[in-house]
Amino acid sequence: MATAPWWENAVVYQVYPRSFCDGNGDGTGDLAGLLARLPYLAGLGVDAIWICPWYPSPMADGGYDVADYLDIEPAYGTLHDADELSAAAHDCGLRVLIDIVPNHTSSRHNWFAAALRDEAGARDRYWFRAGRGPGGDAPPNDWASMFGGSAWTRVEDGLWYLHLFAPDQPDLNWQHPQVRSEFERILRFWFDRGVDGFRIDVAHGLEKDPELPDAGPRPAAGLLSITAHPAWDRDAVHEIYRAWRRVADEYTPGRVFVAECWVADNRRLARYLRPDELHTAFQFDLLKAPWRAAELRAVIDDAVAQAQAVGAPPTWVLSNHDTTRVVTRYARSQPDHPVEPHWERARWAAERADLDLGRRRARAAALLQLALPGTAYVYQGDELGLEEIENLPDNARQDPTWRQSGHADVGRDGCRIPLPWSAEHASFGFSPRGATAPPWLPQPAHWAALSVAAQTEDPHSVLALYRAALALRRIYWAGASGAIEWLETPSDTLAFRRGAAQCLVNFAPDSIDIPRGFRVVAASQPDVDRTLPTDAAVWLTPR
């Protein structure tokens, strides 16, 4: 009997390297810091780590503006450090996934430098076009940047170039054969160095309508998930991923891709997961769903059905480096419709957050996520119950969204604050003892109580819950069937069985009885025995 690929039931921990751990004391996280903390990750119980971009970058967008895909950002370390980290992770039993950013390069990439010099053919690798109107003074079309403002910037000779994100991130033209061949070379370069897979940034982008037509009026929220936009989720993108799959299949054991695809629905998402394309894709519907039983059940059913139809595992995520942290999302009012967790920040900023409520719900959501079939991704700090830090000083904000939106959108810095490891000194252990450089983003004083050291001493902490749940997941859920059997429960609750274990979640305002004949093997709140409080979850097995 064939063994299932490792990623089909894996838990993957997302590392945002600037904010994970600073090994050299300069206030920025690096590979040395990550290497030193590998025992923590192995002890947490995850199966793999996904490292956000570690390439040389001007950091106009936190590393997602790549200047060189075949090297390491000097502030993080060297290629030798990356090799050492990968080997050490494998020795700890951890697989290593890294980011690849194929939709755009940095404006400092040598290809774009050649394009600005107008070297022969260099502009064909990007989208340079003449403007509209008298003198070409208007952008070539009405496309908007995801960070605010126009998606076009004019260069000195009068032409315009496309950037669906920051002006520092010019979009590549994937109809150019050199773009395609270069990225296949990049994949092989890192596969040959031992990485186990890639998370594909903006995987639904890449191919644009070559006519570059106007998009027409679009709402600000949800632009990334509108199928009809001429820049997103075009059918031609799938041939790129068929070629990438052929590259991955050259390696034994097989390597894995996980796609960041903001698309209209799960039927569109499943197209990326056909047997000759990508292995997995993030299930953002779980992240976008309000904290209510009916909506979450519908999301789970649709996601599982669509993934199973193409033979791929569902891939669940509750937050990441682009979205409002799960504690803060659940600490505010729950709308009657799915939300876009990044673009809703402006609305949420006007509401008072009940962080105690948010943490209760986040703890329950963790047990729900880890009981579901497929792959689970955990964003760094979620295992500590960290919240979004929304009151950063304006002069500390670094996300380009803040600037490009005219200071209307505070951006994503609040979910990227450096982690607290201890309460011993100013950076809470993020930087080594004696370091004088402050962390690249300021940490709130109250995070001392949420540090790894503080939570390790507390058997009821969020960290203790994650450690216990990840260990128990291997026993009760990882080997269970992918089929979900929903159980009859009172309204405003969810319960399902997979194998012998059950997961029960209470969304109702009052406590509910736990079924007789079962014992609690994991609970999101302490001292749960015969009744389950509101906003809580348990795992049950027969007595």
Kind of pairing, strands 512-513 and 531-532?
antiparallel
Contact 407, 43 (CB under 8 A): no
Please indicate whether residue 250 is annotated as part of the active site: yes
Strand pairing of 160-162 and 48-51?
Answer: unpaired
Rg of the Cα atoms in the chain: 23
Please report, to the nearest 10 degrees, the dihedral formed by the alpha carbons of residues 381, 383, 387, 388 taken in order: 40
* 99 vs 104: CA distance, rounded Å: 13
Q: How far is CA 133 from the centre of its chain?
A: 40
- Under a CB-based contact definition with an 8 Å cutoff, are residues 54 and 190 in contact? no
Which is catalytic among the residues 119, 239, 249, 250?
A: 250
Q: Which residues contact 191 (CB under 8 A, 6 or more apart)?
A: 247, 248, 250, 251, 255
Q: Which amino acid is at 322?
A: D
Please state, in angstroms and rounded to a whole number, the distance separating the CA atoms of residues 347 and 76: 35
- Residue 504 sits at φ, ψ, to 5 deg, of -125, 130
CB atoms within 10 A of CB 291: 21
Q: What are phi and psi of 167, to 5 degrees?
A: -55, -25
Which residues, in sequence order, are CB contacts of 408 under 8 Å at separation 6+?
A: 148, 346
Check: CB of residue 165 under 8 Å from CB of residue 146: yes
Catalytic residue among 61, 201, 340, 388: 201
Closest CA to 542 of 523, 515, 511: 515
On the CB side of 188, CA atoms within 13 Å amount to 10
**Residue by residue, what is the 3-state secondary structure of 112-146?**
HHHHHCCCCCHHHHECEECCECHHHCECCCCCECC
Tell how strand 315-317 and strand 95-100 pair up: unpaired
Of 330, 228, 315, residue with least CA distance to 270: 315
Helical segments of 235-320, H only? 237-248, 266-271, 284-288, 293-309
- Cα 361 to chain center, whole Å? 20
- Written as six digits, the tokens of 142 are 């009405």
- State the catalytic residues: 201, 250
